[in-house]
Amino acid sequence: MSRSVRLWASGALAVVLMALLAACGPSTFTLRLHLKQGDVYQVTSVTKQHIAQEIMGQKMTLDQKMTMEYRWEVAQVAGNGNATVKVTYTRVAMDQEQGGQKRAFDTASGQEPPDFFKGLDLLVGKSFSVEFTPQGKVVKIDGLDKMFRAVAEGVGFGDKEATDAFYKALTDSFGEDAITEQFQTAFGNYPDAPLKVGSTWNADTRLKVTFPLDVHATYTVKSWQDNQAVIAMEATLKSDATKRVTGQNPLFDVIYDLTGTQQGTLTIDLGTGLLRESQVTQHVEGKVLLVDPKSKDNTDALPMPFSMDTEITTTVAKQGQ
């Protein structure tokens, strides 16, 4: 074999090997947030719920849908990778049906909200900031208290007690715990270890906003291609039926005896580490017990059978694309 033929053959072999390596690509990936200062994202979250409960033999149901739209602007990325995002409400819509009565309001309509949804329109244009780690863990939330106080006072109740009650309702529904839970759902508790198709990891969290529920979740990588990963999530939920929750109502304490399941699919953009879309369903059932605060045991508890089915759909789209 001549020298030129040998050189051609070795060169061709090198090209083939390089092509094979390029086709194979990396064997694993790591879930991390890689955000750039100045980038802006449109986030939409739609929550649908069917709630059924029974009080002293009387059955009641509530069907509701809440749509929340936000503008996320990456305000700063620190040297350690922590990102601070300015979150601005751009739209809030509510639909409810209970006892044959229907109520609805959408801030996009430009109309005044009915009394039942008073104050929701004042959220639009208001902002707060969230700092989180590359793993998606919330480090700090700033501006919520100021924002909710401005909304409560802007409603114009003219009464401090009513203003304070509305402020508390806002913080209970949209406050720090709600924001933290939203980020936990969006980022799926990113693990430290590299991942590949078939990889699984577990995460234990605690929900506080609707009910105090301990969540044990398992995540599984279902697919990985085109710079995105599809991750399945399955979880069990359980409350602590031995613990009384105080302070929710001055007339009674509450014991939650609830169990549930949660399933979902998360599609992650591996370039940014942000969620592209997710669909999560949740079923919770059991009893809610009302107990006299003065009672030393729970023998006089009033049990209320309860069930709740929830569907949450979230989408994230980078603006300018």
The CATH number of the domain holding residue 146 is: 2.30.230
What's the DSSP call for residue 25? -
Q: Number of structural domains, the chain? A: 1
Show the CA angle centred on residue 170, arms to residues 211 and 84, nearest 5°: 90
- The residue ranges of DSSP E strands in 15-82, in sequence order, are 40-55, 58-77
Distance of CA 229 to the CA centre of its chain: 19
Domain that holds residue 77: 29-318
Assess if residue 24 is contained within a domain. no
Phi, psi of 133 (to 5 degrees): -80, 170
Assess if residue 4 is contained within a domain. no
Assess if residue 8 is contained within a domain. no
This prediction has a pTM of 0.85
Q: For position 21, what pLDDT does the model report?
A: 37
Per-residue pLDDT of the chain (321 residues; tens, 9 = 90+): 444 444 444 444 444 434 433 444 578 999 999 999 999 999 999 999 999 999 888 999 999 999 999 999 999 999 999 999 999 999 999 999 998 899 999 999 988 888 888 888 999 999 999 998 998 888 999 999 999 999 999 888 888 888 888 888 888 878 888 888 877 766 657 898 999 999 999 999 888 877 889 999 999 999 999 999 999 999 999 999 999 888 777 788 999 999 999 999 999 999 999 999 999 999 999 999 999 888 888 778 899 999 999 999 999 999 875
Assess if residue 260 is contained within a domain. yes
Assess if residue 7 is contained within a domain. no
Is 51 within 8 Å of 288 (Cβ atoms)?
no
Assess if residue 103 is contained within a domain. yes
Q: For position 25, what pLDDT does the model report?
A: 52
CA distance 134 to 136: 5
CA-CA-CA-CA torsion sign (178, 180, 184, 186): positive
Quickly count: other Cβ atoms within 10 Å of residue 38's Cβ.
10
Assess if residue 18 is contained within a domain. no
CA distance 50 to 277: 22
Tokens 């090198």 map to which residue? 14
Distance of CA 189 to the CA centre of its chain: 11
Assess if residue 238 is contained within a domain. yes
CA distance 235 to 219: 9
